[in-house]
Amino acid sequence: MTEVRPALRAGGRVDDAAVLEAAARLRDGGLVAFPTETVYGLGAATLDAAAIERVFALKGRPADNPLIAHVPRGDATTLSAVVEPAAAADPRVDDLAGAFWPGPLTLVLPRSPDVPPAACGGRGGRSRRPPPRSAGRPSGGRHG
């Protein structure tokens, strides 16, 4: 079922109920649309191979074109789930994020073995970028 439910109210206030609903949809294997710095993205839970395949199919995205994992800066738990622990703990990651985020910097880090290879376009790296404040800050990793 397709449903449009804005997560932001007038004045930029977050609709927590809409964010929680989107998080539940992600946990249940669903897809959600969200704003990025330049366009809208179609997202799935990072570790859900079937949902990731649906993103590729719906977008007509080539299988060798990897997806970006939107992980809020400072969310060490989610970061550790999508990249190798040594990469997640590398202080250079926080240094670069602190200097350039929010903004269009994308870090490509070695992926966690838990991340389906399809998400990375069959490559070993995982692109990581923070979501825009309006999309990522409210949810705080609630998708699980």
Answer yes or no: is 16 within a domain.
yes
Answer yes or no: is 66 within a domain.
yes
CATH code of residue 14 = 3.90.870.10
- Mean pLDDT, the chain, rounded, equals 80
Answer yes or no: is 1 within a domain.
no
* Chain position carrying tokens 């199919």: 57
Instruction: Kindly report, residue by residue over 20-46, the tens digit of the pLDDT.
Output: 998 999 999 999 988 776 778 898 998
54: left (phi over 0), alpha (psi -120 to 50) or beta: alpha
For 52, residues 6+ apart whose C-beta sits below 8 A from its C-beta are: 44, 46, 67, 116, 118, 119
Whether the model clears a pTM of 0.85, i.e. scores above it, the answer is no
Go through 57-79 and write b for each residue having 16 or more CB atoms within 10 A of its CB, e for each that does not.
Answer: eeeeeeeeebbbbbbbbeeeebb
Percentage of the chain lying above the pLDDT 90 cut? 23
Answer yes or no: is 81 within a domain.
yes
Q: For residue 138, is pLDDT > 50?
A: no
* Weakest mean pLDDT among 4-8, 52-56, 59-63, 91-95: 4-8
Percentage of the chain lying above the pLDDT 70 cut? 81
> How buried is residue 46: exposed, middle or buried, by Cβ count under 10 Å (0-12/13-18/19+)?
buried
Q: Work out the end-to-end distance of the chain between its first and last CA atoms, rounded to an integer number of angstroms.
A: 22
* Domain assignment of residue 133, given as a range: 10-139
Instruction: Kindly report, residue by residue over 9-27, the tens digit of the pLDDT.
Output: 777 788 888 889 989 999 9
Q: Is 57:63 a contact under the CB 8 Å cutoff?
A: no
Answer yes or no: is 51 within a domain.
yes
Give the count of domains, the chain: 1
Across residues 117-127, what is the average pLDDT? Answer: 79
Q: Label residue 127 by pLDDT band (50, 70, 90).
A: low
Instruction: Kindly report, residue by residue over 48-88, the tens digit of the pLDDT.
Output: 999 999 999 999 999 999 988 877 767 777 778 888 888 88
Answer yes or no: is 2 within a domain.
no
Answer yes or no: is 144 within a domain.
no
Q: For residue 128, is pLDDT > 70?
A: no
Answer yes or no: is 3 within a domain.
no
